[in-house]
Structure 1
Amino acid sequence: MSIVIITTLIYLVVVAFLGFLGYKHTKDSNDYMIGGRKIHPMVMALSYGATFISTSAIVGFGGAAGVFGMGLLWLTFLNIFVGIFVAFALLGKRTRKMGHNLNAHTFPELLAIRFQSKFIQKFAGAIIFLFMPLYAAAVMIGATHFLATAFGIDYNTALFFFAVIVAIYVSMGGMKGVMYSDAFQASIMFIGMIILLGFTYKNLGGVTQAHIRLGEMLNNAEVQKSVGGMVKAGFQGWSAMPKWGSPNWWTLVSTIVMGVGIGVLAQPQLAVRFMTVKSNRELNRAVPIGGIFILMMTGVAFIVGALSNVYFFNDPNIGKIALLASGNPPNPDNIIPLFIKTYLPEWFGSIFLITMLAAGMSTLSSQFHAMGTAIGRDLFYKQNDESNKSVWIAKIGVLFSILVTTFLAYFLPVYLQGEGKLIIASGTALFFGLCAASFLPVYIGALYFRNMPKIAAISGIVSGFVSSIFWMLFVHEAESKKLLLCKLIFGVDTIAQGTIWRLVDPIFIALPISIIVTIGMSLLYKCDIPEEHLKSCYQGIEKEAYDKKLVAEG
């Protein structure tokens, strides 16, 4: 325990120093919001990755892999292909350039200035401020579970101290402090996950032997008894995908894989990072770093989560699959913390504790920064006011966001206790899906479609948001059953009761609706944005696209 305490203190001192460094180099709102647009590409890539990958990915989605198996590796593929290559190549460069052209400091502000709509800025800022705490709570729950398990302390005590630590350093250093700390934390995360993967495979006899043993588990009669209900829901083993169209398939594919894998493109706290570098060259240099980082973070977490079933079941002191070993009642979010504490050397426990702290704090710092700037810049900012007033409002917004998130991190595990719910994975997927439906069609339209009218942008955001909320409240059983509004109005848990629609994630419905509405309104209405403004938006972007076309044509 003394090793854990010493390493934790060293880590916190370094993070505090980096937060102070960010504070010293933060002179105005430009520095606080977007790091002065002079962030090094490696720092930007590591910050992007550390913001993207958190304890929700390692603890929450690793636990989901303990339940569903290796099928979660499809999420790793989407995280890399969509979250890194597509995001940086197709969206990142234009976001960076347009953000510079328009002097945008936040994601909502970028959309608002592009379409000359204060409504968009305030509506998008409100979505971020009101709903991001759910995602942040998922991350905080994951970090707190691991802290409580590692130190053997009460969950609520761990939650309190973790929230205080994050509040101090994120409110102080602004974007520079956040990104300096992110880069440091990402380095720790990378090392920790390499060691974890090596230990996991070594103790199972190597890569091939480990996967053979996992694939054969469903042949065991005791295992078959344990997963009887899951098999009825489409489960086919931890090395296979669930049956096509089964309840398990819809949960895994529509909610976890697609919800997060597509939703990453419209994450405000990630998109704003494209505006922190000074040129496209920095973005190009960041792509391989980000891709390798995401591969190690998610790939290792999902592989270890699935293989934990072999460890737990073959342990004579446990003899259960991972989900049943996670506690009574079962809690998938406990699988990874319990696996680390039970099977890995004590010295590694301290390293992985720091890895989890780094993962949680890096993502939370960016989330709280995004929520704070949504208040300070998007909801209460006065145009052309470059004083530090907006910075102080943002700092107050950060602290308020931390309070709301901490309340949710306390309330959700209590509210869902005994149900074996994937709290972390579900909370993350819900917010990612909401952002995709609300922002993605309009975000792409802002970057690529010059003649898209303001009404199309507003309609797309509102229709995506409203359809997402409606589906959560009245159709998707995972949310509607707990939110109770459907029960109150219609007397049932979901209006889709008895049909497959109750399992379909909101992103499968809301995103297509948003796309159709955005395109439809673009066809019905002419562009109402002045040509001079459009020239300023696309200055440098259209020339670059034209030059690339000439090169391609020889």
Structure 2
Amino acid sequence: MISKVIAILLYLAVVMYLGYKGWKTTQRPTDYMLAGRRMSPWVMALSYGATFVSTSAIVGFGGAAGLFGFPLLWLTFLTIFVGVFIAMVGFGKRTRRMGLSLNSHTFPELLGRRYRSSFIQRFAGGIIFLFIPIYAAAVLIGISRILEISLGVPYEAALVFMTLLLAAYVITGGLKAVMYTDAFQALIMGMMMLMLLGGTYYMLGGVTEAHSTLASMAHLMPSKLQLGGMEGWTQGARFGTPLWLVIYTTIVYGVGIGVLAQPQLAVRFMTVHSDRELNRAVLVGGIFIPIMTGVAFTVGALSNAVFMEKFGKISIAMAAGNMDKIIPLYIEKIMPPWFAGLFLLGMFAAAMSTLSSQYHVGGTSLSRDIWENIKGREASVAASRFGVAATVLAALIWAWVLPPSVIARATAFFFGLCAASFLPAYLLGLYWKRMTKGAAVISMVGGFATSMFWLLFVHLKEAKVIGLSKALFGVDSLASLAPKGSAMWLMQWVDPNVIALPVAMLLAVGAAYATQTMQREHVELCFENIR
């Protein structure tokens, strides 16, 4: 216990020093929001990866892998192909160049200036400010659960402690402080995860033996999961069953595609000086992100074999039904004490890197994209700090009230909502000169409305908890009114983004041909650096 506390204090001392360094060089709004547009490519890439991969990925989705097994590795593939290659090469360069041409400081401001629409900027900023605290709460829950299990700290006290700690340097230091600390934290996370993977395979007798053992345990899959379609941790779920839909529409598709429209990631493309820096960042991100997600999902699945060997129970039984506790329990009960301390540092790093970025983008959305837009004058650094403080408080409240086993679900919700609301307008705005202001508005509002309708009235996981469908129509999901086993009945397990994103894209393309084109001079300005 003492060694863990000492390690944490040393780690926090380095983090606070880096936060202080960011604060000392933050003088202007551009410094606070975009790190002065002069960030090193290595720092940017590590910051991007550390922001993308948080305790929600390691604890939340690692715990989900304890339930669903190796099929979650498809999400690792998407994080490499979509989250790194397509995001940095296909989106990153054009985002950086267009952001420079339009002097944009935030993701909503980029959309607003591309389409010459203050409504688009306010609407996008409102979505981010209102809903990113839910995603932040998922990350906050993850690290607080680890503190609860590893150090015996009461869960509620851990929530408050982590909130105050992060607020101390994010509110003062802005994006420079966030990215400096992210890079340091990413290095700790990478070393910790590689050691975790090696230790797990060693305990199970090697890679082949470990996978064979897990495959032979298919009969131990809980009956509830078997009824939902699961056949085993290596075998996956039967095609078209409820759990197959959960795995591939909510987790793999929802998160894997949603990464392209994440505001806290997109803004990083505008922090580097040239395309050359982005090219260098692809290599770093392409190594770091699959290490983090691939290890978490592999260890989460293999934890069933280790727990069965040591305690005669599978992961979900060890965690008493709360999958958010699977990875923390695995570290605390299986790994040696010295590694438990290192893992705690790694999880501090994962949580703090992502939370700091979430708080920053939520706060700047309030100050720059909403407040400044309404008042008609540039928001000061002080106003941005107030916005960050408001986001921090909202995340703490959500973390206090959200139910157990919510980390992966809350993350997928935000990723999907951003994809449906922003991705068509963002993608077409970067690549298609014919895209119009009216089409962007229709697509964003239509995608958001479709996603929220599906969330409130169709998708069972959220609709049942929220209860609005039950109150108005007497059923947890409107899809349950269809004959059992029919395609419509299965829709209650289909993620909102599967429906909302295609709807938003069709609205964008259709409306672009039906609405007035934008002034040629403005379009040429947007694309003047894009050849």
TM category (shorter chain) comes to over 0.9
Match of 2:278 in 1: 283
Aligned length: 524
Counterparts of 2:63 and 2:180, CA distance in 1: 29
Match of 2:73 in 1: 73
Residue by residue over 1:320-345, the C-alpha shift from the partner in whole angstroms, topping out at 9 and shown as x without a partner, is: 11011102xx1000000000001111
Deviation at 1:241, TM superposition (A): 2.1
3-state DSSP of counterpart to 1:381:
helix
Counterparts of 1:115 and 1:31, CA distance in 2: 25
3-state DSSP of counterpart to 2:478:
coil
| Residues 438 and 516 in structure 2, CA contact (< 8 A), matched pair in contact too | no
Q: 2:312 aligns with which of 316, 319, 327?
A: 319
Aligned 1:106-505 pairs, distance under 5 A: 106-219=106-219, 223=220, 227-315=222-310, 318-327=311-320, 330-381=321-372, 389-412=379-402, 416-417=403-404, 422-497=405-480, 498=484, 499-505=489-495
Pick closer, same or farther for the CA change 1:486–1:267 going to 2, 3 Å.
Answer: same
| Residues 125 and 366 in structure 2, CA contact (< 8 A), matched pair in contact too | yes
Counterparts of 1:216 and 1:382, CA distance in 2: 60
Could you tell me the TM-score, scaled by structure 1's length? 0.93
Match of 1:540 in 2: 529
Deviation at 1:386, TM superposition (A): 7.8
Segments of structure 2 that go 5 or more residues without pairing to the other structure are none
Counterparts of 2:39 and 2:375, CA distance in 1: 24
Match of 1:23 in 2: 23
Residue by residue over 1:16-47, the C-alpha shift from the partner in whole angstroms, topping out at 9 and shown as x without a partner, is: 11111000011100000001100000000000
Residue by residue over 1:344-387, the C-alpha shift from the partner in whole angstroms, topping out at 9 and shown as x without a partner, is: 11111111101000000000000000000001100011599886
| Residues 437 and 465 in structure 1, CA contact (< 8 A), matched pair in contact too | yes
Residue by residue over 1:428-471, the C-alpha shift from the partner in whole angstroms, topping out at 9 and shown as x without a partner, is: 00000000000001001110011211100000000000000000
Pick closer, same or farther for the CA change 1:354–1:106 going to 2, 3 Å.
Answer: same
Residue by residue over 1:526-549, the C-alpha shift from the partner in whole angstroms, topping out at 9 and shown as x without a partner, is: 31x22221121111203xxxxxxx
Give the letter for the 2:343 counterpart.
F
Residue by residue over 1:70-126, the C-alpha shift from the partner in whole angstroms, topping out at 9 and shown as x without a partner, is: 000000000110000000111000000000111100000000001000000000000
3-state DSSP of counterpart to 1:205:
coil
Root-mean-square deviation (CA, aligned residues, Å) is: 1.2
Counterparts of 1:391 and 1:511, CA distance in 2: 35
Deviation at 1:390, TM superposition (A): 2.8
Counterparts of 2:368 and 2:205, CA distance in 1: 54
Give the letter for the 2:349 counterpart.
A
| Residues 181 and 362 in structure 1, CA contact (< 8 A), matched pair in contact too | yes
Match of 2:512 in 1: 522
Counterparts of 1:465 and 1:142, CA distance in 2: 27
3-state DSSP of counterpart to 1:338:
helix
| Residues 39 and 277 in structure 1, CA contact (< 8 A), matched pair in contact too | yes
3-state DSSP of counterpart to 2:230:
coil
Segments of structure 1 that go 5 or more residues without pairing to the other structure are 543-554
| Residues 381 and 390 in structure 1, CA contact (< 8 A), matched pair in contact too | no
Match of 1:43 in 2: 43
Deviation at 1:262, TM superposition (A): 0.3
Give the letter for the 2:479 counterpart.
A
| Residues 135 and 427 in structure 1, CA contact (< 8 A), matched pair in contact too | yes
